[in-house]
């Protein structure tokens, strides 16, 4: 049986009818005891399990997922990867992720289709150009690539946008991070699942957590639809379902809200946009997939919801923004759209920390940043669980910062999750 991907194994299996491939990961049955149980079989949970085994030598690890691997937000997003942040805490964390992304396909022995096509943030006023100059300088001070582009340089890079005198939103220039780009969302989930499985991690699908086992105040395991599983440590990485899962541990209040974020894919087109473009006069981010579809999104729906579908006003606003920027898209047909449940923190920055109870660890509050954070989140969360203390990269991402007023407000809009 073949379990490693290479040009030689592809050639060998082609000659024998592809009959020798192993399953990507085992259909593991839950054991009664593990050193660590991770709740959530999305990108963050799987990455955490992988790095627990790879970096810390913890192989008695289970990932429990109520559905199937890749069925949540990791499989329903706009695939953007970047580290163009202003605040040093966020910039350093996401740059760690960028460096992991750059080696991820080789590390996992799985093509995650990471494409460093760049991310261009458009500026529409002189004030925005000043703000981007500040951010670009802050990025460079952290060793992160950043280029401030003039209007002419932007037009040369993305000529399809509206540069006319009649443009509703004139383009002044933009901030480019050349190393940013996109990755294939489902391939990331599958790659981490397969690599974690190869290191002995049990991935247990169709296993919903219904409660937590306790010894006094300490969490000592989870109750699931497939029985009780004891664990020395339990990590929670369930994105928009964080509040619901934590409520089963008796934690009724967290500094996060759940909102719906819609994403859209157009019919396939010939090559049109070869980078990621974000709209500075509204909220739009757009790129083109390898299949030719335009992938884009914008604002979250401004009300709390667990529905994986959005409402028409946001749908209309996002598409109007796309057409304002690219008038030639006006007659392009929409192929599909969907909604993911976002766990929006009160300051727009994540939480990667020991949880409010002993034995419990929390990974949450990702807002719009969940997918691009996947490897860095897993790496830091694994460190925090294994060593019972945060790494310096996630030391600022605590629960206590909200009570103490030490917020990481990247956008400067205050404790209003819907504005982040």
- pTM (predicted TM-score): 0.96
Asked if 28-110+185-255+350-419 and 256-345 have one fold, the answer is no
Q: Are 112 and 191 in contact (CB under 8 A)?
A: yes
Residue 3: predicted pLDDT: 75
pLDDT in tens, 91-120: 999 999 999 999 999 999 999 999 999 999
Q: What is the mean pLDDT of residues 37-53?
A: 98
Quickly state the pLDDT bin for 420 (edges 50, 70, 90): confident
Region 256-345: CATH code = 3.30.9.10
pLDDT in tens, 164-223: 988 989 999 999 999 999 999 999 999 999 999 999 999 999 999 999 999 999 999 999
Cα-based distances in Å from 32 to 37, 60, 221? 11, 11, 10
Model confidence at 369: pLDDT above 90: no
Model confidence at 1: pLDDT above 60: no
> What residues contact residue 301 under an 8 Å CB cut-off, 6+ apart?
259, 260, 261, 262, 310, 311, 314, 339
Domain ranges of the chain: 28-110+185-255+350-419, 119-178, 256-345
What topology does CATH give the domain 119-178?
Answer: D-Amino Acid Oxidase; Chain A, domain 2 (3.30.9)
Region 28-110+185-255+350-419: CATH code = 3.50.50.60
pLDDT in tens, 213-226: 999 999 999 999 99
Quickly state the pLDDT bin for 302 (edges 50, 70, 90): confident
């Amino acid at each position: 049986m073949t379990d490693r991907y290479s040009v030689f194994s592809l050639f060998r299996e082609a000659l024998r009818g592809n009959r020798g491939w192993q399953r990507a990961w085992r259909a593991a049955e839950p054991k009664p005891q593990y050193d660590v149980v991770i709740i959530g079989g999305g990108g963050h949970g799987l990455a955490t399990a992988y790095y627990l085994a790879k970096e810390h030598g913890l192989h008695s690890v289970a990932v429990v997922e109520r559905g199937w691997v890749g069925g949540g937000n990791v499989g329903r997003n706009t695939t953007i990867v970047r580290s163009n942040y202003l605040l040093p805490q966020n910039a350093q964390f996401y740059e760690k992720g960028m460096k992991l992304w750059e080696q991820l396909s080789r590390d996992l022995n799985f093509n995650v289709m990471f494409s460093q096509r760049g991310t261009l943030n458009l500026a529409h006023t002189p004030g925005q150009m000043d703000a981007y100059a500040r951010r670009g300088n802050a990025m460079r001070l952290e060793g992160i690539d950043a280029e401030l582009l003039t209007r002419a340089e932007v037009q040369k890079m993305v000529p399809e946008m509206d540069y006319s005198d009649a443009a509703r939103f004139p383009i002044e220039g933009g901030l480019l991070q050349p190393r940013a780009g996109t990755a294939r969302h489902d391939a990331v989930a599958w790659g981490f699942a397969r690599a974690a499985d190869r290191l002995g991690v049990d991935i247990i699908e169709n296993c919903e957590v219904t409660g937590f086992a306790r010894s006094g105040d300490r969490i000592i395991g989870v109750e699931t639809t497939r029985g009780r599983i004891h664990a020395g440590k339990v990590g929670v990485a369930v994105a928009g379902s964080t509040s619901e899962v934590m409520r089963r541990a008796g934690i009724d209040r967290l500094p996060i809200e759940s909102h719906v974020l819609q994403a859209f894919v157009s019919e396939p087109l010939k090559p049109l946009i070869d980078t990621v473009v974000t709209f500075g006069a509204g909220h739009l981010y757009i790129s083109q997939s390898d299949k030719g579809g335009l992938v884009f999104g914008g604002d979250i729906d401004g009300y709390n919801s667990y529905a994986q579908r959005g409402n028409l006003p946001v749908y209309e606003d996002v598409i109007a923004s796309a057409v304002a920027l690219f008038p030639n898209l006006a007659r392009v047909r929409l192929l599909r759209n969907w909604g993911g449940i976002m766990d929006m923190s009160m300051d727009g920055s994540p939480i990667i920390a020991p949880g409010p109870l002993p034995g419990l660890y929390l990974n949450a509050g990702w807002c719009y940043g969940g997918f691009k954070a996947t490897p860095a989140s897993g790496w830091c969360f694994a460190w925090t669980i294994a060593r019972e203390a945060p790494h310096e990269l996630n030391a600022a991402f605590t629960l206590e910062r909200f009570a103490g007023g030490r917020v990481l407000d990247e956008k400067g809009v205050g404790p209003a999750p819907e504005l982040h």
